[in-house]
Structure 1
């Protein structure tokens, strides 16, 4: 069970909001770049986020470039999952590949600061602040294994291959 606080964002949060293009020179220093995660959408986010917290957004989260830095620095900031109404496909794939769960759900009932619990295998989100119970599509077993290992590369290092028929 994932547990943390919701940081609420609106629609169309781009990869430039997540990893500002003006800081491209920090790509070789990811810990430093992570100190600026989402600062163009919320200048205080990186200082306030705690391990386990959630990014909660509206439609079209992660649109823009296909840079892997965007989901990676979100994960590095301690965020345990992104919850959004919809996400850009390339952001979704990059996030899963890097071990960051992206859950598609109706986020309207979640407010900034709400305490959430997420059951990845059960497809449920419990808002402990307002009592709401939300659902998201079941995560396929193969994807859960990738997430459990922290991403595609750790999965391959551990298993040497995709053993999808064993999942």
Structure 2
């Protein structure tokens, strides 16, 4: 995978799926409608401020709460290219990978607005603002393959020859 570069958006520990996308917005399956309200409970203007390619940096237990698949869908549809957090709720982590949204477990020091460059294949995160580099555990080859295909459904379709 290519390097991912974007502006960091920093969030606290225990960001749950209700904070990522409130239950009142789950009546739609349209990813853009979800993206319009992503992280609204934490930052009401986040959906308007986030740019395509930006990076969320969370604390411990990112994505805890319910197993709603709409949470990573809303984040990805908003343009976020990768989520880095100290730890993830297991179901959120897997849901993110399944839809093609990279998630990286790492404890890094950033300020909101720092420019980060992430190489998930080699396991390197560079904070270009502070000129700091972090070595991280590269993702498992199976997960990398899912991400490169754009998610598990796309991987399945490609394996079956586009049928």
TM-score normalised by the chain length of structure 1: 0.92
Matched, 1:15 2:13: no
Task: Indicate whether 1:133 and 2:146 are aligned.
Answer: no
Q: Distance in 1 between matches of 2:72 and 2:143?
A: 16
1:96 and 2:97 aligned: yes
Displaced runs of 4+ in structure 1, greater than 3 A?
Answer: none
Alignment of 1:21-36 (within 5 A): 21-25=23-27, 27-36=28-37
Displacement of 1:134: 1.4
Count of matched residue positions in the alignment of Structure 1 and Structure 2: 159
Which position in structure 2 is the counterpart of 1:165? none
* Alpha-carbon separation, structure 2, partners of 1:55 and 1:140: 21
Q: What SS class does the counterpart of residue 17 from structure 1 fall into?
A: helix
Over the aligned positions, Cα root-mean-square deviation in angstroms equals 1.2
State the secondary structure of the residue aligned to 1:137: coil
Q: What secondary structure sits across from 2:63 in the alignment?
A: coil
- Deviation per CA, 1:65-119: give whole Å up to 9, x if none: 1011000110111111000000000000000000001100013x11100000001
Structure 1 residue 160: deviation in Å?
2.1
CA contact 2:19–2:39 (8 Å) conserved in 1? yes
Distance in 2 (CA, whole Å) between partners of 1:33 and 1:91 is 16
1:119 aligned residue: 119
Q: Structure 2 regions of 5+ residues with no counterpart?
A: none
Residues 1-167 of structure 1 correspond to what in structure 2 (within 5 A)? 1-25=3-27, 27-107=28-108, 109-160=109-160
Q: CA deviation at 1:30?
A: 2.7
User: Could you tell me the TM-score, scaled by structure 2's length?
Assistant: 0.94
Q: Is the contact between residue 20 and residue 40 of structure 2 (CA under 8 Å) also seen in structure 1? A: yes
Paired residues of 2:115 and 2:128 also in contact (CA < 8 A): yes
Gaps of at least 5 residues in structure 1 are 162-167
